[in-house]
Amino acid sequence: MAKEDNTTVNTPTPQGWKATKEQIDQWKKDNPRGVRKFTIRCGDGIFEAYMRTPGMDDMMRGQASERKKAFTFSKSIWENCKLGFHPDIEKDDSMLLGLFLQIDETIEIADVTVEKI
């Protein structure tokens, strides 16, 4: 298991990469706002990725990057919040783009009502 910047990348087995229960439990303990699991089906494989729920700082970094290039918001959120993933995900554009399209689902937003007074 290689560890870099608090991200876990396990060496894949023939059946694929799987986070251990211990890893998931530690991620949950370290990230009380929550941990999200992505399941990506590509070709004949099923790939997993985990990230923590983004906070306001992550959102601000993502928003700042979005002004420069398209898709950089999702990439910024992924880079700042990823916890563990199958290494092939970041090598395959279709899997990475599919993951980026789901990043919005990880953002927790309160129900807010606005009224003119």
Instruction: Render pLDDT for 59-99 as a digit per residue (tens, 0 to 9).
Output: 877 776 665 565 788 888 899 999 999 988 989 888 888 89
CA 81 to chain centroid, in Å, comes to 6
| pLDDT value of residue 8 | 53
Type of residue numbered 78: W
pLDDT at 29 over 90: yes
pTM here is 0.66
Q: CA-CA distances (angstroms) from residue 47 to 57, 98, 113?
A: 28, 12, 38
